[in-house]
Amino acid sequence: MASDMIELVEVGPRDGLQNEPEIISTADKVTLIGKMLDYGARRLEVASFVHPKRVPQMADAEDVIAALPDIADATYIGLALNKRGVLRGLATREGGRRGIDQIGCVIVASDTFGQKNQGQTIEQGIEEARAMVRFAREEGLAVQVTISAAFGCPFEGEVKPETVMAIAQEIAAEDPVEIALADTIGVAVPAQASDLFGQLGDLLGGNIPMRCHFHNTRGTGIANAWAAYEAGVRTFDASLGGLGGCPFAPKATGNIATEELIYLMDKSGIDSGIALDDAIAANHWFAGIIKRELPSLVARAA
């Protein structure tokens, strides 16, 4: 296979940790991000600007961001669910501080899940996200948008592709830097990933890049990532060790593991810029912090 390049978005510091039962210290989070930078990650979702009572693990978002190394070619992403979150993101850049480089917005492709996750129906989510993209851009902050529960909802079941494409069309009108589809509860299979990203690629026409976000709840996550690659996706969310899960999605388990994604791509002749051995070493270090083995099979086999 001809060599190609993918981009990793390392979501471990946010999506990977948000469901952890024991609070990870700010210092350990910053050290973890440093190890991710060392193994080559250059886009990292480092925190979310959500209410600490709803997601306690993210209560120190501003402290983590203030302690991040100022690396020129790194992009630090902060998740925001509303304008209030964007304002918190902008505040991290005040006083000459580096702060975050990009805001991540989320629209849930299900009314029930959207209301439980962020208090919004689909229609309200679209309206909020469009306003967030405009506002952040006016303030000089790049914005990407994720359509979550794009393949299925834990409360309503299957999500229709036409629902997802209707949301994507509305968001594309705001010209975000990227649109992602997320299998938040890990129900997709490769045929569905291929079909939905094929439709999204046709809709966007190469004008807005695509990104994928898969969870491995039913063991299909890494196969779905390959299907997305074949459908034209070149940017992939993954979490070190396969950690993660949504606090508002019952039984949802972790993201696809960074180690498995990189192993897959490396063995397929596709460059990622990630040093797999260093990622495995970071996995083993963090396992000592949380005092249990991480899910990644590649790291366990090393």
Please say whether the dihedral angle defined by the alpha carbons of residues 195, 16, 102 and 261, taken in this order, is positive or negative: negative
Choosing from 105, 153, 212, 246, the catalytic residue is 246
Clarify whether 153 is annotated catalytic. no
Which residues share a beta bridge with 182?
Answer: 213
Catalytic residue numbers?
246
